Each structure stands twice: as C-alpha cells, then as structure tokens.
A and B are shown apart, each in its own frame.
Chain A
Amino acid sequence: MSTIRVRAQESGGVVTVRALMTHPMETGTSKDSAGNLIPAHYIEEVTADVGDTRVMTAMWSATISRNPFYQFQFEGQKGDTLKLAWSDNKGESDSVEVTIG
C-alpha cells in the first residue's frame, strides 16, 4: 500500500496536484504516554517529475503537519505520467506514479 494518495488534473494547460502522504511528522519534542521523548521522524524532501523533467522540489521541516497535504501547479497535459516521491530523515522513502487526468 502506498503512503501517497495523489490527484493530478489538467485544466487550461495547468496541472493541479493535490497529494496526501501518510507520515507521523514527529518533531522530536513530543512525549509518549510514558513521558519519553519521541525521536524526530519527518519527511525532508518531496519531488515531482514528469518524465525526465523535475517540476518541483519541496523541502520540509517537522513543522509540516502529520499526514502531510501538499498542493502545487505546473504547465502540463493530460495523459502524461507524474511521479511523486518523498524521503525522510530516517532514510525511508516512497513514490507513486499517476496519470494526469
């Protein structure tokens, strides 16, 4: 199961991307129920590519909310494949490909 849900829709030559990622986005300053600090665990980078072209890079701190939402736009066309990927501070990563509709 992918940790990413993404929709990419073209209108008038502009593609609007709405992405939801499943991730704890722990700041490292919160405590668990036993009072122990929960280690920082957050997405550092999100990238979007169409073919070999990078359309955007987002760099995040743990200030982005848990289960992050991200929306952006670029000039593109229906039928192309958009690849969205994230990587976090623990070296984990995930990616997903969707067809622009």
Chain B
Amino acid sequence: MTSNKRRVFLKGTLAAGTVGVAVGAGLLTPSQLLAAARPADAFAARDFSAAMEAALGKTDLPEGDIDITAPEIAENGMVVPVTVETGMGDVDEMALFVVENGAPFTCKYVLGAGAAPMFATRIKMAGSSDVVAAVRSGGNWYSAAREVKVTIGGCGG
C-alpha cells in the first residue's frame, strides 16, 4: 500500500513537471490540458486503413504485447464483449477498431493519473471481422488483432 501511494505520488510529480515545462515553452495551451481532443476524422472514416491513419497517424504498426479478450463466435453482433489489456509500460492511449464495420474506429481510451492500461466494453459488429487493438507505449503505437465470427450482424439498416 505504502509503495503504491509513493508510486502514484512520484508519477504525479513527474507528469506535472513535464506538463509545466511544456506550458512554459508554449507547446500546450491550457485548453488542451483540460480536455483531450476528439479525433473526429478518425470516427468519420469509412474504411479501416483511413480510420487508422486518421486516429494514429500511421497504419503499419509493430505487433505489441496486447491481450484482446472476445468471444470466438458471437451469436449477437449487437452486443460483443471485448476486453483490451497490455503488459507494456508507459501507456497513455489505447484504441479499438472493427476492421469490417462501416465505421471501423470504435473507441479511444485516454489514460489519466494512475490509470491501468486496460478497458472492457461491449461493441456492435456488422459481421465477422478482425478486431484490432492499438496501444501507445513510450510514444509508439503497437497493435494486435483477434478474429471474431458473428452469426447475426448488429449494425442495422
């Protein structure tokens, strides 16, 4: 417990120091500190590589130590449980894509103070597809993929 608190404290001090320097140098405006910007272009993209380019700035990512937990076969594409977690360190952002969906970019997770590099949610899948998770560790993006077969799709229309 004590060591844990100390870790949080040290992390907070380091982060505050870095941000302070960035503000001082005019690299960040105060509004950027309050809210992370929504990557609207990435959410609007209608194919996987365009979504990845818009969301991450690149499409060819090295394989990372990332675990995607999802059913092998999902009977209902309206509700597919997905958990993404990683053993990699210095993680500040994570992203999730469903390659074959009409809007592939599903969600982005921005880690705050003391946040663990994991999230779990439930997503819609139009049909069978690779689910791709990307993790930014030490400033570089890594990815992993997992195939989910869907027997009844869940994106309407």
Contact = CB atoms under 8 A, between A and B. Distances in A.
Pairing of A with B: yes
Interface of A: 12-14, 27, 29-31, 37, 44-45, 48, 53-66, 68-77
A48 B121 CA distance: 15
Interface of B: 1, 4-5, 7-8, 35-36, 38-39, 43, 78-81, 83, 98, 101-103, 105-116, 118-124, 154-157
A30 B1 CA distance: 49
A57 B7 CA distance: 21
Contacts of A62: 103, 124
B107 A65 contact: no
A57 B36 contact: yes
Contact of B112 (A55, A59, A77): A55
B116 A74 contact: yes
B118 A30 contact: no
Given A68-B121, A75-B114, 11 more contacts: A12-B4, A54-B113, A55-B113, A57-B112, A61-B107, A64-B123, A65-B121, A66-B78, A70-B120, A71-B120, A72-B118
Contact of B39 (A30, A59, A71): A59
Given A29-B155, A65-B124, A68-B121, A59 B116 contact: no
Q: Tell me whether chain B's interface is mostly helix, strand or loop, or mixed.
A: mixed
B115 A58 contact: no
B103 A61 contact: yes
A56 B105 contact: no
Instruction: Determine chain A's interface SS by DSSP, over half rule.
Output: strand
B5 A60 contact: no
B112 A56 contact: yes
Given A64-B123, A71-B120, A58 B157 contact: no
Nearest to B106: A63
Residue from B101, B107, B118 having most chain A Cβ neighbours under 10 A: B107
A65 B79 contact: yes
A44 B124 CA distance: 15
Contacts of B103: 27, 61-63
Nearest to B83: A71
Contact of A68 (B78, B105, B122, B157): B122
